[in-house]
Amino acid sequence: MNPLCKDDLLNLNFKEIQHFTISNSLIYNLGRYRQLSVSCIGTPNEMLWVCQIDDKNEKNITDLICLHNYDYDGYLTVDKIVGLINLIS
């Protein structure tokens, strides 16, 4: 299995954040002020979060839940990302 890479996520319509983050996060808009956020792609620090965005200021995250953590789950795959998008959407 090949670890997930940035291009895999960009092909799934993930977007780069317009400001610097130490984890080089990419985000996917789920609608209704929710987004998926993937950080540290392809590394042993890789994580996937579902985030609730403040409806009054889209730069603020009001809540988040970790859906995938490399330490417990290993590397992410395109299939897992697609399945989660379909499930949550």
- What residue ranges in the chain does DSSP mark as E strands? 15-16, 26-31, 34-39, 47-53, 61-69
Res 40 pLDDT > 70 = yes
DSSP 49: E
When comparing pLDDT for 64 and 1, which is higher?
A: 64
pLDDT tens column, 13-39: 999 988 878 889 999 999 999 999 999
Name the pTM for this structure. 0.90
pLDDT at 64: 95
